[in-house]
Amino acid sequence: MKNFGKTIYWFGGVVAATFVGIGLADYWFGHHDFTAFLSWAVLAAIPWLVGRASLFVLTGLADRRHRIALRSKTESPQW
């Protein structure tokens, strides 16, 4: 689960960087205002935040399962 969360996070980061790159190219070569770049930047924040949230959730789930498994192995049986 943790590796899947990292994969989603990195994919979201690549998509976000692509959006920022498109926004910069649009700003420099498209002769648009700075507000056009800001709209691309806000659009770039969406996949990055989704990736960050999935990393947080999936890493937390993996750590919680790991802690539960360790706790069940280390506890002595009640006789």
Domain ranges of the chain: 2-74
What is the DSSP annotation of 23-77? HHHHHHHS---HHHHHHHHHHHHHHHHHHHHHHHHHHHHHHHHHHHHHHHHHSPP
pTM for this model (two decimals):
0.71
In the Cβ-directed half-sphere of 62, how many Cα atoms lie within 13 Å?
12
For residue range 9-62, what is the model confidence (pLDDT) as tens digits?
Answer: 999 999 999 999 999 999 999 888 888 899 999 999 999 999 999 988 888 876
CA angle 12, 42, 44 (to 5 degrees): 20
